[in-house]
Structure 1
Amino acid sequence: MELTEKYPALAIGDFLAIHIPDPGEEHSFVEGMREDLEVLGDLRDSGMSHGHVPYPEARGLLPWGDSSDGDLFYWKTTDEGPDTWTILVSGRNDDWCEFKGGLTEYLAGLVSGTVPPDGLPPDFPGRTPSVDSD
């Protein structure tokens, strides 16, 4: 919540976009989330989700972003609440990589170079990444 309050729109390097609802467009945002969860359910049903399941199933994945290359970003939920959720990257090449930390820590680490871009292009975000917020 704090991240979205500070940055109502957020993109890193014209590549990674964070899903944040626009005021008055919450219905469209929810529909997009449902579509993302349905795609993950289809992957699960066809045996291509590496055992991951969509939210609200136990330990289900909840989408929070995507990339211009088709990578998808999720929170891996737990019963203990959002403070215990981890980051899961579903790379377009069928890479599934987990980061044991929160969203802000993950994004800041990508930009600073302290978090490797597992599942993403190896040169992301580059030497001087742009962080755009509107």
Structure 2
Amino acid sequence: MHPSVNRLLELLPPPQQGGAAVDWEHVEAEFGWRLPTDYRDFVTCYGVGAISDSLGISTPPFEGYPFVDHLLYNTPYPDPDNLLRWGANEGADDFYWRCNSDEPDDWTVAIHLRNHGWQDYPVSMVDFLIQLITRQIDPPLAARLCIDPPWFEPDV
């Protein structure tokens, strides 16, 4: 388990039924995307859903996936803008990886804020979530996370 995911598990209890069993080799073969280690471990523990009923996290499709749209739906590899959207909130802020490296574990977080343009964070997705939950960062999101205490609500 990625160390950042272990830390997140202390702060954000995973759903009782666990996360999603994604065939990561199949995802890479079908869509071309190799995804960060911390994200893959996040999906294994949490699955598809939302943090504090606000920040929705996307996943690739897996057996029993109930939606048409997913993390890699209509997303070419490589993306011409070097961006891959992994989350969104109800305030229309979108959360991306900046895919500026062939090594996914080097990707960092960028948020397109509905009212403030782009904001970059030089951390991984899970480290970003940890900093958000522990209030080490406070981006000007259009919708605030209710994080007292944070919870994860699975979509399936």
Look up the match of 1:4: 43
Aligned CA distance change for structure 1 residues 126 and 29 (closer, same or farther; 3 Å): closer
Look up the match of 2:92: 70
Of residues 39, 55, 59, the one that matches 1:16 is 55
Query: How far did 1:92 drift?
Result: 1.2
Look up the match of 1:101: 123
Look up the match of 1:42: none
Paired residues of 2:93 and 2:113 also in contact (CA < 8 A): yes
1:18-97 aligned within 5 A? 18-20=57-59, 21-25=61-65, 28-30=68-70, 33-34=73-74, 55-57=78-80, 60-97=82-119
Structure 1 residue ranges without an equivalent (≥5) = 39-53
TM-score normalised to the size of structure 1? 0.70
Percent same amino acid at aligned positions?
24
Figure out how many residues of one structure are paired with residues of the other and give that number.
114
Structure 2 residue ranges without an equivalent (≥5) = 1-39
Aligned CA distance change for structure 1 residues 72 and 130 (closer, same or farther; 3 Å): same
Query: How far did 1:33 drift?
Result: 3.2
- Secondary structure of the 1:33 match is coil
Query: Which 4+ residue blocks in structure 1 deviate beyond 3 angstroms?
Result: 24-27, 29-33
- Secondary structure of the 2:130 match is helix
Q: Provide the C-alpha distance between the structure 1 equivalents of 2:140 and 2:67, rounded to a whole number of angstroms.
A: 30
Letter in structure 2 aligned against 1:88: A
Q: Provide the C-alpha distance between the structure 2 equivalents of 1:18 and 1:11, rounded to a whole number of angstroms.
A: 6
TM-score normalised to the size of structure 2? 0.61
RMSD: 2.9
Paired residues of 1:96 and 1:119 also in contact (CA < 8 A): no
